[in-house]
Amino acid sequence: MDATLVNNQYSLSIRIFSDGFSLYVYDEKYQIISHKQEKSGQTDDLEFIHKMFESNKEIHSDYKNISIICESDYHTLVPEIFFKPENQNDLLKLHHPSLPDSDRTFYAKQEQLQSVLIYSLEDKLLKEISLYFHHITPESHLVHLTKKITTEQKNKFTVWIRPEKIDCIVYNHHKILLLNKYSYNSPEDIAYHVLNIYQQLELNPNDFLLEVFDDGNNQTESLLRKYISSVIIKPKQSAYEDYQWEV
């Protein structure tokens, strides 16, 4: 992309995933005008991110807005009335006792839910990001996903598929009934977790929409459709478009 196209009227969105990296440049109307995506392969995660920051010239330009979204492993949603910023780490550890001490904890208010989403990011990743973006606080991938779900106000079961883990969110009657992660080794494991949640929460698969964000596992899709009639498969990119900016 011609570097002269990038100036203060444009916006930059960077997404750091457990298996890759992408960047998107938006024009003044928040329409995507350029994007790049690369899988990490077998490279060390931090080495790969460093390489991406160094090699992509778009990162070194000026922008009106910058959004950095990272896949994070630990989340909890708490009622706003019980939340205090100084206790965010303790609240997250209640849900995730295995939370690494080296992780740094953040929070994002979910106004429509009268709740606060607490999450953590790896300290080594944050230090790498701060070398290039001194005043930007990265956000978890679930911050924008939960905002999108609550804004749409449709009862549904949302599944975010990432390598070896899935994030599950159940939204019903203006409330999030479930927000949790599950490990998997195969598409059959994903189907098991999904069907088990339907059963435990007494959701009717025939009329309760299943929304799956995935980047192309046809076996998972066909397996889910075998058991659930109302399934929508979406690319992960669609979860972010227009939701990280104040339009």
Closest CA relative to residue 35, chosen from 235, 212, 211:
235
* pLDDT value for 78: 95
Residues 6+ apart with CB under 8 A from 159: 166, 167, 168, 169, 190, 194, 210, 211, 212, 213
Domains of the chain and CATH, by start: 3-70 (3.30.420.250), 75-129 (no CATH), 151-239 (3.30.420.260)
Q: What are the helix (H) ranges across 44-200?
A: 45-55, 88-95, 123-130, 141-152, 187-200
Q: What is the pLDDT of residue 211?
A: 94
pLDDT on residue 181: 94
CA angle 12, 100, 117 (to 5 degrees): 50
- Please list, residue by residue across 164-177, b when 16 or more beta carbons sit within 10 angstroms of its beta carbon and e when fewer do: eebbbbbbeeeebe
- Give residue 6's pLDDT: 46
Per-residue confidence (pLDDT) for residue 195, from 0 to 100:
94
* The overall pTM is greater than 0.95: no
Per-residue model confidence as pLDDT tens for the chain (247 residues): 444 444 568 999 999 987 788 898 988 888 888 888 888 765 557 888 888 989 888 888 889 889 999 999 999 999 999 999 999 999 999 999 999 999 999 999 998 889 999 999 999 999 999 999 988 889 999 998 998 898 888 899 999 999 899 999 999 988 999 999 999 999 999 999 999 999 999 998 877 889 999 877 778 888 998 988 889 888 887 776 655 655 4
Please give the sequence-ordered ranges of beta strands (E in DSSP) within 96-242, or none if there are none: 104-110, 115-121, 139-140, 156-162, 165-172, 175-183, 209-213, 231-234
